Structure 1
Amino acid sequence: MIWDNLQQHADTLRGRHLADLFADDPLRFHSLHRQVGPLLFDFSKQRLTTETLALLAEFADARDLRGWIDRLFAGEKVNGTENRAAMHWALRARAEGHIPEPVAGLFGEVADQLQRMERIVNKLHAGQWRGVTGEVITDVVNIGVGGSDLGPLMVSRALEDYQVSTAQPLNLHFVSSMDGSQLSHLLRMLRPQNTLFIISSKSFTTVDTLYNANTARSWLRDALGRDPAVVDCHFLGVSASDTKMAEWGIHEDNRLRFWEWVGGRFSVWSAIGLPVALSIGMGAFRDFLAGGHFMDTHFRNAAWLDNVPVLMALTGLWNTNLLGISAQAILPYDARLKYLPSYLEQLEMESNGKSVTRDGEPVDYSTSPVIWGEVGPNAQHAFYQLLHQGTQVVTCDFVVPAMRYHETDRAQVTGTLSGQHELALANCLAQSRLLALGEAALPQREQMPFYKRYKGNQPSSTLMLDELTPFGLGALLAAYEHKVFTQAVLWQINPFDQWGVELGKKIALETLSLIHSREDSDDISEQMLATRSAALRDSMDGSTVGLLDFIKQQRRGF
């Protein structure tokens, strides 16, 4: 019944243009924005009304959103397919905070790992971490993939203005590409004597990461010798598997731990965030955690129509399932947020790109839209043509800080830089306005040829931070996390597994054996492998066989 009411309501609004909605209600912004802490969420440019919100809130109640939030924060096993809790929020909780401890001693375990992180960070910042030759570490390379790369890369880049001044400046580098080119390029620029590697992998079995880690270890051993101290002095590990780290050779003092109940795309709040702490210091890293905790408390307690993550989720559900919009662009108007679109692509699509309910039944409705994006000024010269005059409807999230250069800093910052931030703000506001209103945004309507016309009616939200601080960024990212969880509840899917990526990785290993096979070998064991490979090859499709043949032709003679 509630869904029927939403569909009927959508039918009445489908023909309304955003320009008309603003003309009918000049105070629309006041009723369709919310501000919580450092974050202002303006959804007045969405194609909805306060009546829409009331109906969506009813639907949230019908889906037992309150019960699911309670279960999430109680540490219940909300990840049904893996029989796990999802307690990434506990990574940023505090013993004296507003959220009860779901498991006795949990917050203490988290605090212990943060203290281990702090000892490592302080040692590196003081220039006291030495390589095997006694030289000071100057470069730190994070080797990871997925959340173990995107999280620390995005946050450290976003908060570069907070980079600490240390006795020994540290250069941070990130490697994730499995083909080796990224690492090869980097190793040509580094000195083994001064380089420390962080191997970040939840399972410590991820093939992409271990291949890069093994290459780095070989590079160090070739330059510095095979003494076990080479690995002890030049490698840190971050994983949920202490055993696997030990087997690889990471010294006990160099292992940082997180837990199986932390999904990779939710892990930047854990020791996976070590590169962030190395960049901005542990004090600012704790501010980042505090921002996330602030949003956790808001999400857990606020009524639906005052709850920013819930409103983000309800707006997304409205667009995807009632208006039929299947794409969302993330458009930050601050180059420090360059990697935010990629981060949110993983967060949203790996979480909610599902077609099966929690009960194992196929869904008969859309779930996650396609998430994509780019820094706004670059996007304007890449795909805004499609947004403004194309045939696709795309909803957009504009993300921007209101301030960058403080009045108190103007003596140290040129007016040009301040003006550049103002230019970014002006473009952010102008583009969202033009997308919504089209030609109605012009102060004077004039007759234009069709190729110059702007139809408008493209919905968007603006998420405006007061500043891009560690606290503010933490609040923003936690809001997106809770948006994802809320939408999963509304769609009745599990956002905490990712079985869709597993089979492809398994098939890749089988395919690798075919690329490695040597059919012309005289060795009996290799001949047996070749026979097995031939049987595997026979099970392949024609396209894959053709591509494998081409690879072998090119490799022949090498």
Structure 2
Amino acid sequence: MSSPLTEKASWRALVAHAQEVRGAHLADLFAGDAQRFVRLHRAFDSILFDFSKQRVVEATLPLLFDLAAEQGLAERMAALFAGAAVNPSEGRAAMHWALRLPSERTCQVAGEDINLQVQAELQRMDGIVQKVRSGQWRGVTGEVITDVVNIGVGGSDLGPLMVTEALADWRPSTASPLHVHFASTMDGSQVSQLLGGLNPHATLFIISSKSFSTIDTLSNAATARGWLERELGALPGLLDCHFIGVSAAAERMSEWGIAPANQLALWDWVGGRFSLWSAIGLPIALSIGMPAFRELLAGAHAMDEHFRQAPWADNLPVLLGLIGVWNTNMLGINAHAVLPYDGRLKELPNYLEQLEMESNGKSVNLAGESIDYATCPIVWGTIGPNAQHAFYQLLHQGTEPVTCDFIVPARRYREAQHGGATAELLAQHELALANCLAQSRLLALGDGAVKDAASLPRNRRYRGNQPSSTLLLDELTPHSLGALIALYEHKVFVQSVIWEINPFDQWGVEMGKRIAVDALACLRGELAELPGADASSAGLLARILGESA
């Protein structure tokens, strides 16, 4: 049985068009069109988006725009930015865009000026950052804070970690550097290793959890609390001096022991994977300073405005999203690699894995019906130069079609002074740029990029025709990174509109955690056996408990 989407005229037109162009090779498309790059790239702010190496022809984009119009993209965008309940399964708005509004803007939703609330929390963040970075925030025994540990998981970890790593060059120079660390794994391995090298007198913990009930986070927080109490004793004011909470659940933070003065607020209209712009971004602000954090917000806001106002033919998030739909649904490509050519962006693929797959990894549409078409592809990746020595073999000569996003800053090291090593570092950046350009070219053109390819044995030939986009940043700055992240956020929304799914819930995340409760009770001797266990789970549990399987 076909779904309503696949029966729509615009969808059927794209399917027919895909049949016509499926056999076209990118090498031939470039050979036949000297202006292909000129026609198939767009730029906004500090980002150039080159999609000329995508398997699209002149007729493709208008057909994709027809699909977007028939799916009501313009109306859904308006609803998103009006604060409507675009998350219907939870009855909530999705207003991460409001977190990066300029301070002077008003944002009236249901009679409230949301931006007043946002700016108030930013001011509170600013106060904390100034106290910690200036040495005014002291541990319970009076020592200056030298280390901050962010305890969170999912969106409370991946976003702050990614941005903190990416903007390491923007850390202010101080006499006493502030070190920011992250702990997320529920098995305690990260927090255990961290605590072994930290000074309890000078360590501040941030507990980040929207619900303040996430077992992974609370387990790590309990371990940190126990470590402090063992090392320092149950001193009065211990928790006040060493813990900050970020959550939408103020009462739960207070019950845990975090003083109201140390609590920063979230709102139910902020999804975890869209929350780094909020107080969840406190580790970022502590690392790079509040002015740079505000530049991050400004870059994201600039992309918000571009998304809202630019015609679809020039709109980077719309183009990125629709080309992804073309690849997934019309060309049948179900794998997507994210390949940054800058070591500072090493955590970006992990961040985008969550953003895309947790948002759009859905098989039920907004009407509650099962769907019969592909949604989000499998997203993965790593730093491009490292990936060249790992999975590029599959990209170039394997049997799987894979789309790629190459992400690279054009400039780095040009004005830096690194102890006389500037020339060498600039040469290394040029090497990364050259490899980025070469790899995308070979993936697209295959043998067409190789001299005398016909004379090579078959095991040294390259089929090419692997589609890719290149996102070229002028430089990697807080502003450009903010714009880049917002670009991907809006791409996810565009695709969700086409696929008729809700990108703002994640019920698939929840159930496994819930049924783990019974297994935990068995491991702790509180249950004699696992209720309704399958043979595999029962056998594994028995082995863990030292019983005969």
CA distance in 1, matches of 2:517, 2:429: 48
Matched, 1:220 2:228: yes
Q: Is the Cα–Cα contact under 8 Å of residues 32 and 50 in structure 1 kept in the other structure?
A: no
Query: Which residue, 119, 143, 147 being the options, matches 1:139?
Result: 147
Residues 96-144 of structure 1 deviation map (CA, whole Å, 9 limit, x = unaligned): 45x8543532101100000000001001111111111111111100000
CA distance in 1, matches of 2:471, 2:545: 51
What does 1:321-340 correspond to in 2, within 5 Å?
Answer: 321-340=329-348
Matched, 1:544 2:537: yes
CA offset at residue 406 of structure 1? 2.3
Task: Look up the equivalent residue of 1:546 and give its one-letter code.
Answer: G
CA distance in 2, matches of 1:195, 1:538: 42
Residues 146-185 of structure 1 deviation map (CA, whole Å, 9 limit, x = unaligned): 0100000000000001011234311111000100111111
Task: Look up the equivalent residue of 1:405 and give its one-letter code.
Answer: Y
| Gap runs ≥5 in structure 2 | 1-8
Pick closer, same or farther for the CA change 1:554–1:146 going to 2, 3 Å: farther
SS for the counterpart of 1:403 is coil
Query: Which residue, 117, 123, 130 being the options, matches 1:122?
Result: 130
Q: Which residue of the partner structure matches residue 44 of structure 1?
A: 52
What does 1:102-251 correspond to in 2, within 5 Å?
Answer: 102-103=109-110, 104-251=112-259
SS for the counterpart of 1:330 is strand
Task: Look up the equivalent residue of 2:358 and give its one-letter code.
Answer: E
| Gap runs ≥5 in structure 1 | 518-528
Matched, 1:465 2:458: no
CA distance in 2, matches of 1:193, 1:34: 52
SS for the counterpart of 2:438 is helix
CA offset at residue 447 of structure 1? 0.9
CA distance in 1, matches of 2:168, 2:351: 17
Q: Which residue of the partner structure matches residue 262 of structure 1?
A: 270
SS for the counterpart of 2:409 is strand
Residues 55-74 of structure 1 deviation map (CA, whole Å, 9 limit, x = unaligned): 00010000000000000000
Aligned residues between the structures: 540
CA offset at residue 227 of structure 1? 2.8
Residues 276-302 of structure 1 deviation map (CA, whole Å, 9 limit, x = unaligned): 101110000000000000000000111
SS for the counterpart of 2:150 is strand
CA offset at residue 245 of structure 1? 0.7
Q: Which residue of the partner structure matches residue 393 of structure 1?
A: 401
SS for the counterpart of 2:463 is coil
SS for the counterpart of 2:52 is coil
CA distance in 2, matches of 1:300, 1:79: 19
Matched, 1:479 2:487: yes
CA distance in 2, matches of 1:142, 1:61: 43
CA distance in 2, matches of 1:443, 1:96: 58
Q: Is the Cα–Cα contact under 8 Å of residues 150 and 183 in structure 2 kept in the other structure?
A: yes
SS for the counterpart of 2:522 is helix
SS for the counterpart of 2:487 is helix
Task: Look up the equivalent residue of 2:233 and give its one-letter code.
Answer: G
Residues 484-537 of structure 1 deviation map (CA, whole Å, 9 limit, x = unaligned): 0000000000000000011100011111001111xxxxxxxxxxx54xx43xx2
Pick closer, same or farther for the CA change 1:538–1:485 going to 2, 3 Å: closer
Q: Which residue of the partner structure matches residue 37 of structure 2?
A: 29
CA offset at residue 223 of structure 1? 1.1
Task: Look up the equivalent residue of 1:187 and give its one-letter code.
Answer: L
Q: Which residue of the partner structure matches residue 376 of structure 1?
A: 384
CA offset at residue 50 of structure 1? 2.5
CA distance in 2, matches of 1:231, 1:167: 27
Pick closer, same or farther for the CA change 1:67–1:435 going to 2, 3 Å: same
Q: Is the Cα–Cα contact under 8 Å of residues 127 and 167 in structure 1 kept in the other structure?
A: no
CA distance in 1, matches of 2:421, 2:83: 47
TM-score, with length taken from structure 1: 0.95
Task: Look up the equivalent residue of 1:120 and give its one-letter code.
Answer: I
SS for the counterpart of 1:3 is helix
Pick closer, same or farther for the CA change 1:194–1:100 going to 2, 3 Å: closer
Matched, 1:16 2:24: yes
CA offset at residue 539 of structure 1? 1.2
SS for the counterpart of 2:238 is helix
CA offset at residue 2 of structure 1? 1.5
Q: Which residue of the partner structure matches residue 546 of structure 2?
A: 553
Query: Which residue, 353, 367, 370 being the options, matches 2:361?
Result: 353
CA offset at residue 554 of structure 1? 7.4
Q: Is the Cα–Cα contact under 8 Å of residues 518 and 531 in structure 2 kept in the other structure?
A: no
Q: Is the Cα–Cα contact under 8 Å of residues 236 and 250 in structure 1 kept in the other structure?
A: yes
Q: Which residue of the partner structure matches residue 3 of structure 2?
A: none
Task: Look up the equivalent residue of 2:543 and give its one-letter code.
Answer: F
SS for the counterpart of 1:197 is strand
Pick closer, same or farther for the CA change 1:505–1:410 going to 2, 3 Å: closer
CA distance in 1, matches of 2:437, 2:256: 51
Pick closer, same or farther for the CA change 1:30–1:350 going to 2, 3 Å: same
Task: Look up the equivalent residue of 1:44 and give its one-letter code.
Answer: S
Residues 240-283 of structure 1 deviation map (CA, whole Å, 9 limit, x = unaligned): 11111111000111111111110000000000001110111000
CA distance in 1, matches of 2:468, 2:228: 50
Query: Which residue, 8, 14, 26 being the options, matches 1:6?
Result: 14
Query: Which residue, 495, 499, 503 being the options, matches 1:495?
Result: 503
SS for the counterpart of 2:240 is helix
Residues 531-550 of structure 1 deviation map (CA, whole Å, 9 limit, x = unaligned): xx43xx25100000000100
CA distance in 2, matches of 1:232, 1:118: 18
CA offset at residue 446 of structure 1? 4.2
Residues 188-223 of structure 1 deviation map (CA, whole Å, 9 limit, x = unaligned): 111110111000000000000000000100000011
CA distance in 1, matches of 2:455, 2:427: 34
CA distance in 2, matches of 1:307, 1:412: 42
Q: Is the Cα–Cα contact under 8 Å of residues 141 and 196 in structure 1 kept in the other structure?
A: yes
Q: Which residue of the partner structure matches residue 464 of structure 2?
A: 456
CA offset at residue 444 of structure 1? 4.3
Q: Which residue of the partner structure matches residue 76 of structure 1?
A: 84
Task: Look up the equivalent residue of 2:168 and give its one-letter code.
Answer: E
TM-score, with length taken from structure 2: 0.96
CA offset at residue 305 of structure 1? 1.0
Q: Percent identity?
A: 61
CA distance in 2, matches of 1:258, 1:463: 32
CA offset at residue 438 of structure 1? 0.4
Q: Is the Cα–Cα contact under 8 Å of residues 396 and 463 in structure 2 kept in the other structure?
A: yes
CA distance in 1, matches of 2:207, 2:408: 32
Q: Is the Cα–Cα contact under 8 Å of residues 309 and 483 in structure 1 kept in the other structure?
A: yes
CA offset at residue 442 of structure 1? 2.3
Residues 345-399 of structure 1 deviation map (CA, whole Å, 9 limit, x = unaligned): 0000000000000110111100000000010011000000000000000000000
Q: Which residue of the partner structure matches residue 67 of structure 2?
A: 59
CA distance in 2, matches of 1:252, 1:95: 24
CA offset at residue 11 of structure 1? 0.5
SS for the counterpart of 2:48 is strand
